[in-house]
Amino acid sequence: MTVRKNQATLTADEKRRFVAAVLELKRSGRYDAFVTTHNAFIMGDTDNGERTGHRSPSFLPWHRRFLLEFERALQSFDASVALPYWDWTADRSPRSSLWAPDFLGGTGRSLDGRVTDGPFAAATGNWPVSVRVDGRTYLRRALGAGVRELPTGSEVESVLAMATYDSAPWNSASDGFRNHLEGWRGVNLHNRVHVWVGGQMATGVSPNDPVFWLHHAYVDKLWARWQRRHPGVGYAPTAGTPQVVDLHETMKPWDDTTPADLLDHTPHYTFDTD
Amino acid sequence: MSGLTRRRALGAAAALTSAAAVTAAVVTPASAAGRGHGHDTSTGPAGGHDHGAPAPFDEVYRGRRIQGRPVAAGEHHGGHHGAGYAVFVDGAELHVMRNADGSWISVVSHYDPVPTPRAAARAAVDELQGAPLLPFPAN
């Protein structure tokens, strides 16, 4: 059974195996397909049109399925690997072990944002940025430059306290838990973390940075915490909403799974805190 | 899709190259204001609820030509929603999107809304640090 652990608690061997599986996936060409899919949804999801992966209620189940696909791909190389999560309310400094050379490597140099250490630095030759929106082929970051502070635990608590999953107009203007977690309104959790990391993480091709998966694994965990906090409150909307994925409608690009199928994470994985 | 897109973008780039010599001196005072980093990303633009198309713009910002103009529905390439407004950096189209509250984002600054398409273009120039924008994602 897959157990998703806090990245701060991983052993040296677990870090080494995770990194090796990610690099294998990259070498196979399958990694970049995930980046392409994500950017297609980033560009296609709009507030007044069809919206599936972002700025809509299905932001959370869509990314849950997307991460499951990625995790299964890693496990095809090493069955012991699980996605770790990054609790950015706790590990909130560029000096966190997350950014050490034995794991994801650190921030980018000031000249051009280029990451120069760790297994994903361009100089290793193992991490070409191929699916991109500009001419630069090297991984970039600017930790803490785009916005100074990561969200705090009390900011997360204020969003977990929201008793409505989502609400009309089911987009970036909505009130409720989903949009406050996504960050288009209010204290801004998920979006702000993308901005804090900077580099490719601030763009539509954000999965070019492996921290994408650790960030979203924590966003996913916050959804599970919210469900436990509000056991009587379900996914919304439940039916008949144009351009929006209702509870029992299938989601692109898979077309074989609905939000209802993904509400319970425990058939697929558990968390170290479960 | 990309073929059509690139042809169109390259055509625009060629047109801009000839026009650039004439207008390169057009630099607004605001273009010297520097990077937009460090601002509060938690709130949308004040009073950003006007849903009419923003005005066109054309300036050189940090040494790069940025332009924006309203476009007719269907003028955009396939696989990309109709924003009703197109933005270019040195002639390459920058994918932009308007949020429900009237704020704007672009594909190179996707999680950090700014008040206007011109601000999105400037944020893109800041992000690019001189790198060429690919007309649309390479894949």
* Closest by CA position to A77, among listed A12, A31, A138: A31
Q: Percent of chain A scored above 70 by pLDDT? A: 100
- In terms of residue numbers, what domain contains A194? 2-89+144-271
Q: HEC states along chain A?
A: CCEECEHHHCCHHHHHHHHHHHHHHHHHCHHHHHHHHHHHHHHHCCCCCCECCCCCCCHHHHHHHHHHHHHHHHHCCCCCCCCCECCCCCCCCCCCHHHCCCCCCCCECCCCCEECCCCCCHHHCCCCCCCCCECCCCCECCCCCCCCCCCCHHHHHHHHCCCCCCCCCCCCCCCCHHHHHHCCCCCCCHHHHHHHHCHHHHCCCHHHCCHHHHHHHHHHHHHHHHHHHCCCCCCCCCCCCCCECCCCCCCCCCCCCCHHHHCCCCCCCEECCC
Q: Tell me the β-bridge partners of B133.
A: A134
Chain B residues whose beta carbon lies within 8 Å of the beta carbon of residue A88: none
With CA atoms as reference, the chain A residue closest to B113 would be: A184
Q: Which of B41, B100, B138 sits opposite A171 (nearest CB)?
A: B100
Position A75 scores a pLDDT of 98
The pLDDT score that the predictor gives to residue B8 is: 41
Q: Does A195 sit within 8 Å of B137, measured CB to CB?
A: no
The predicted model gives B22-37 an average pLDDT of 34
Higher pLDDT, A272 or B13: A272
- Give contacts of B133 with chain A, Cβ < 8 Å: 133-135
Residue B86 pLDDT greater than 70, yes or no: yes
Instruction: Output the domain CATH number for residue A221.
Output: 1.10.1280.10
pLDDT digits (tens, 9 = 90+) for A177-199: 999 999 999 999 999 999 999 99
* C-beta atoms of A204 and B137 within 8 A: yes
Q: What is the pLDDT of residue A66?
A: 98
- Residue B1 pLDDT exceeds 50: no
A153 found inside a domain:
yes
Q: For residue B70, what are the β-bridge partners?
A: B85
Query: How many A×B Cβ pairs under 8 Å?
Result: 110
Would the pLDDT of B11 be above 60? no
Q: Would you state the pLDDT for residue B20? A: 34
How far B23 CA sits from the closest chain A CA (Å)? 25
Residue type at A133 in one-letter notation: V
Note whether A113 and A198 are within 8 A (CB): yes
Q: Is residue A135 part of a domain?
A: no
Domain-embedded: residue B136: no
Is B25 contained in some domain?
Answer: no
Q: Which of B76, B81, B111, B128 to mutate to test the interface with A (most CBs of A within 10 A)?
A: B111
Tell whether A110 is covered by a domain. Answer: no
* Number of domains into which chain A is organized: 1
Q: Is residue A170 part of a domain?
A: yes
Distance from CA of A209 to the nearest CA of B (A): 14
Give domain status of residue B137, yes or no: no
Please check whether residue A238 is in contact with residue A177, taking contact to mean a CB–CB distance below 8 angstroms. Answer: no
* Domain presence at residue B26: no
- At B81, is the pLDDT very low, low, confident or very high (cuts 50, 70, 90)? low
Model pLDDT, residue B82: 56
For B106-130, what is the mean pLDDT?
A: 97
Over residues B105-132, the mean pLDDT reads 97
- The whole-number average pLDDT for the span A79-91 is 98
pLDDT tens profile A199-238: 999 999 999 999 999 999 999 999 999 999 999 999 999 9
If one counts every other C-beta atom within 10 angstroms of the C-beta of residue B50, the result is: 8
pLDDT in tens, B32-68: 333 333 333 333 333 334 457 899 999 999 999 999 9
pLDDT, position B26: 34
Q: What is the pLDDT of residue B14?
A: 38
Alpha-carbon span A133 to A129, nearest angstrom: 10
- Predicted pLDDT of residue B39: 37
Mean pLDDT of B101-108: 96
Does residue A243 lie within any of the structural domains? yes
Residue A95 lies in a domain: no
SS (H, E, C) chain B: CHHHHHHHHHHHHHHHHHHHHHHCCCCCHHHHCCCCCCCCCCCCCCCCCCCCCCCCEEEEECCEEEEEEECCCCCCCCCCCCCCEEEEECCEEECEEECCCCCEEECCEEEEEECCHHHHHHHHHHHHCCCCECCCCCC
- pLDDT-based confidence at residue B7 (cuts at 50, 70, 90): very low
Angle made by CA atoms A2, A40, B17, in degrees to the nearest 5: 145
Interface check for A32 against chain B (CB to CB < 8 A): the answer is yes
**How confident is the model at residue B50, as a pLDDT?**
45
Residue ranges making up the domain that contains B70: 35-128
CA of B123 vs chain A CAs: smallest distance (Å): 11
Is B27's pLDDT higher than 70?
Answer: no
Closest Cβ–Cβ partner in B42, B129, B137 for A113: B129
CB-CB: which of A131, A148, A194 is closest to B111? A194
Say what the pLDDT of residue B40 is.
34
Which carries the bigger pLDDT value, residue A1 or residue A25? A25
CA of B131, closest CA in chain A: separation in Å? Answer: 6
Instruction: Report yes or no on B117 lying in a domain.
Output: yes
How much is the pLDDT for B74? Answer: 56
Instruction: Look at residue B52 in the predicted model and tell me its pLDDT.
Output: 73
Amino acid at B139: N
What's the mean pLDDT in B129-139? 77
Nearest to B103 by CA among A170, A185, A180: A185
**pLDDT value at residue B72:** 79
Q: Which of residues 23-82 of B touch A (CB under 8 A)?
A: 37-38, 41-42, 79-81
pTM: 0.87
Total domains present in chain B: 1
Q: What mean pLDDT, rounded, does chain B reach?
A: 69
How is residue A34 written in tokens?
């995930």
CATH for B92: 3.30.1880.10
